[in-house]
Structures are given as structure tokens and as C-alpha cells.
A and B are shown apart, each in its own frame.
Chain A
Amino acid sequence: GESVGLHLPTLSVQEGDNSIINCAYSNSASDYFIWYKQESGKGPQFIIDIRSNMDKRQGQRVTVLLNKTVKHLSLQIAATQPGDSAVYFCAEVYSGGYQKVTFGTGTKLQVIP
């Protein structure tokens, strides 16, 4: 399938290393954040989420860190595998009134075997 990450920032990581993907969000009132993974030819898939009253949340091989002071979100992937190669998007949600999901610019992760 055709890549959706032609012009996106790219992170190249050796297989087995840890990956850190960063995201800056825009709305200080956003109260919920989500990371999505989009493989070539597919729609984005949920990876992990975090509420604004948390600063860290762990899943299976993934950890999300939230720094509200600087409006920064990161996704850490442990022991990166070839199957992790994809474009990763963060999304912020502001729940006040109309719950709108706003996506960040995305980062393409390339895993080098």
C-alpha cells in the first residue's frame, strides 16, 4: 500500500531498541489524549490513551508520558519490532461542550532489521 507518511518527520530505530515519539499539543484545556498507529493502507488504530490528571500510563510494550506544563506528549515503545513500523499520531480531546478530537502532525517510525 502507498505510504501516508511521505512528508512526515521520520524516526529510524534499530530493531530491539526503544523508540520515543514526541508530540506537542495545542490546547491547554484538552483533558484526554490518545495515540494512534496507522499502517500503510489502513486506518489509524488505537494504541493507548491518558487523561490529563495522569502523567504516565503503561500498556504492553508502550508507555505514554504527559507533561501538561509544556503541552507535550510522548509515546515510548520498548524493544521495537518490525511490525511497529507505521505512522504514529497523537490526538487531543477537549471535552468541554463539543467533544472534538484534534490530531497532531504524525511521525513515521521506520524499524531497521
Chain B
Amino acid sequence: SAVISQKPSRDICQRGTSLTIQCQVDSQVTMMFWYRQQPGQSLTLIATANQGSEATYESGFVIDKFPISRPNLTFSTLTVSNMSPEDSSIYLCSVAGGQSLGANVLTFGAGSRLTVL
């Protein structure tokens, strides 16, 4: 399965600022997925990033708040804009890989833990 590197691993941010999270994959992939994991919660899909096209956002997430770039088949960024304390979460990058029975099995990066003061 793919190896995913995320930067930063954690950060403390001030309210109103923006932070860009980087995700690097060691192989070319068509789709990359960005998830949010709020404290003590499960994972919620923010958007799907395809190379060469606009990201597809899930209900409740908008491009102005979470702009995504996908410049090539191994890299993506997620920006959390105009942050508030409610944005304090772990943000996870993932790709689908051919493990076991299905191509839907996701491989995740270690996540970027953001704390907004």
C-alpha cells in the first residue's frame, strides 16, 4: 500500500489565520481524500481531490473555507482558512489502495493535529 507523508504533524494557530497542510504520496494516485477528525469523534470526509479538476466537497464543507490544490498525481494541499477554535481537529489525507477485497480500502497519513486558540 501507499506511504503518505503529511506536514505539519501538529500546529497551534491563532484565530483568524489560515494554515496549509501538505500531503505527499509515494506513488501516483488518481484520487486523494481529505478527512477531518474532531476531538473524540469519527472521521468525516471533507472533499475528494482529483488531479486536474476541482475538488468535490461534501455537504457542510465549502471551497472558500477548505481550498484544496492537486497539482500532480502525488501531492495535494488542504488549507484551513480563517480558523476558529471549532476548526481544532486532526486533518487526515488518504488514498484508496488495492488491499484485500476491495479498491476502497483507504491508506491514511498520520494526520495533522491543529489547535486553534
Residues of chain A touching chain B, judged by Cβ–Cβ distance below 8 Å, are: 2, 4-8, 32, 34, 36, 41-46, 48-51, 89, 91, 93, 95, 99-106
Contacts and interface: CB of A to CB of B under 8 A. Distances in A.
A86 to B, nearest CB: 13
A48 B104 contact: no
Contacts of B100: 46, 48-49
A106 B90 CA distance: 15
B105 A49 contact: yes
B108 interface: yes
Contact of A101 (B1, B4, B106): B106
Contact of B109 (A2, A43, A95): A43
A45 B44 CA distance: 16
Interface of B: 1, 4, 33, 37, 39-45, 90, 92, 94, 99-102, 104-111, 113
A32 B43 contact: no
Nearest to B37: A4
B11 to A, nearest CB: 14
Q: Looking at A7, A43, A89, A95, which has the most chain B CB atoms within 10 Å of its CB?
A: A43
For the complex of A and B, 3 pairs with smallest distance between CB atoms: A43-B108, A7-B40, A6-B40
Contact of A50 (B42, B94, B101, B106): B101
Nearest to A108: B40
Most chain A CB within a 10 A radius of its CB, from B37, B42, B102: B42
A99 B102 CA distance: 11
A102 B111 CA distance: 18
A95 B101 CA distance: 13
A4 B4 CA distance: 20
B107 A46 contact: yes
Contact of B111 (A5, A43, A48): A43
B105 A5 contact: no
